[in-house]
Structure 1
């Protein structure tokens, strides 16, 4: 038979309320009593009845998370940070993936809402008045990360445009005058919410203008960006910089250049964006923008849990970033 709080209370000679306080680490109980209750619960292999608990508390202690996919290593880092912080605060995480499809994202939201999650952390591909009206009908807190929707929705991110401008400043300071920009998500421009990628592209252009780079850059928006690179020639006389909107693209570009015998950074410099954790195993060390991916995850959980438990989001200013000066530029 399933062990209940009442069973533990009977054995320990205390009330069910005292057992509940011990199991949920609440105040109003001595350390001696708490220790005894926890030991008995462990010996009896007590498992909480989350369904009953949710009925009593009016919440499921679950946070829904909607991401694109897990192909980008930074998303895995983000989820790990979210899950760890949620667990520390007593919440579970329900993960769904939209595959970057607006209609799939709507399905994910409906699934999580119907599953009675207490709040949603959303990396959206949707935007516009109709989408905002749709979100507004749900009586649960929603916090957005990366892709901004509007000032109506709590948002956690960085100054994407400024980060890319600073990256261009650094590249120009290293003597590069010819630029290639790679960002396949730009193919969705005007079709879905690609706020982060738009901001990075704008920062790229503004960085070139600020540094008086007058040569026209090559902009590659295709998922077949390696094939497009095959049409370009590189020489030591005119150092070219390939700026990628994520580290994942940058790593594939570096792999291609090495296969072609193109020296990095002597002939071609490569810049990434994110500073994913596997870069420490890559040679030459990729120059990139350090994105505070794990801090974003932790802040998102802290803010939304505070909203659930106390009624207000934790105000979160745009977070800091850092130019990581590797060996590829």
Structure 2
């Protein structure tokens, strides 16, 4: 038979209110009494009734997360950060994956709403006024990350454009005279929400213009590696391959090694994200450190603040850093 707060109260000869304060670490009781109640709860194998608790509180103590997938290591790092911070704040997490499909995304959001999550962290592939209206009609707090949707929706991210411009500035300082930009998602520009990719591309172009470099080769779409292999690399003119994520940069490095192009002698490679697996890669990828863990933590904190206090916890755009590796 399930142990209740009343059972613990009877065993400790205290009121149910005292037991509640002890179990939820609230003030109003002595440390001696708190310890007595907690010891009794552990001995009696007390498990909180979350259903009853949610009815009393008007909350389910759950958060929903909508991501593209977990193939990109940075998304896995993000999810770990979200789950850990949510647990610290007393919330459990539902994770849903959209595979970058707009309709799947709506299905995922509806699934979370039907399970009465208290709030949603959204990495969206959708955009536009109609989608914004849809989100607002949910009457459930939403924090958007990475892909910006609207100034009316809470957003947590970085200055994507400036971060990529800083990356180009760093590459140019190493005397690379030719540039290739790799961003397969740019093939979906105008069709899906690829805000982060578009901002990074604009930052790249601004950086190129600032250094009066020759017109770059821009590789977008699924066949970017085939096009890369056809490029005329030579030692006389050092070429920098700037990639919009580390995932693409690692594919580029593997491909260049396969066709005998020396890194960084003939071709330098620049990434973006600083995923944790880079410590296993040689040469060590030069990249932009994206505050992925901090974004996850801040998203949870802002969302929980909205749920419990009625307003989002404002988070300014976070910082970035150039990680100087060996590939540039």
TM-score, normalisation: structure 1: 0.98
Partner residue of 2:58?
A: 58
Partner residue of 1:243?
A: 242
In 2, the alpha carbon distance for the partners of 1:211 and 1:9 equals: 73
1:279 Cα shift?
A: 0.8
Partner residue of 1:204?
A: 204
Partner residue of 2:156?
A: 156
1:224 Cα shift?
A: 2.6
Partner residue of 1:298?
A: 297
In 2, the alpha carbon distance for the partners of 1:27 and 1:270 equals: 56
Partner residue of 1:102?
A: 102
Secondary structure of the corresponding residue to residue 105 of structure 2: helix
More deviation in 8-17 or 273-282? 8-17
Runs of 4+ that moved beyond 3 A: none
CA displacement 1:6-60 (0-9 Å, x = unmatched): 1111111112222122222222222111111111111222111111111011000
In 2, the alpha carbon distance for the partners of 1:29 and 1:228 equals: 70
Unaligned runs of 5+ in 1: none
In 1, the alpha carbon distance for the partners of 2:206 and 2:259 equals: 31
More deviation in 109-118 or 11-20? 11-20
CA displacement 1:115-148 (0-9 Å, x = unmatched): 1100111101111111011111111211100000
Secondary structure of the corresponding residue to residue 227 of structure 2: helix
Secondary structure of the corresponding residue to residue 144 of structure 1: strand
Partner residue of 1:121?
A: 121
Secondary structure of the corresponding residue to residue 169 of structure 1: helix
In 2, the alpha carbon distance for the partners of 1:186 and 1:33 equals: 62
Asked if the contact 2:229–2:256 (Cα under 8 Å) also holds between the matched residues in 1, the reply is no
1:101 Cα shift?
A: 0.6
Partner residue of 1:226?
A: 225
Partner residue of 2:193?
A: 193
Partner residue of 1:253?
A: 252
Q: What is the root-mean-square deviation of aligned Cα atoms in Å?
A: 0.9
Partner residue of 2:81?
A: 81
1:233 Cα shift?
A: 2.2
Unaligned runs of 5+ in 2: none
CA displacement 1:281-303 (0-9 Å, x = unmatched): 11111000000000001111111
Asked if the contact 2:269–2:285 (Cα under 8 Å) also holds between the matched residues in 1, the reply is yes
Secondary structure of the corresponding residue to residue 263 of structure 1: coil
Partner residue of 1:273?
A: 272
Matched, 1:319 2:315: no
Matches within 5 A, 1:13-32: 13-32=13-32
More deviation in 217-226 or 75-84? 217-226
Secondary structure of the corresponding residue to residue 197 of structure 1: helix
Q: How many residues align?
A: 328
Asked if the contact 2:182–2:220 (Cα under 8 Å) also holds between the matched residues in 1, the reply is yes
Secondary structure of the corresponding residue to residue 151 of structure 1: coil
In 2, the alpha carbon distance for the partners of 1:98 and 1:30 equals: 49
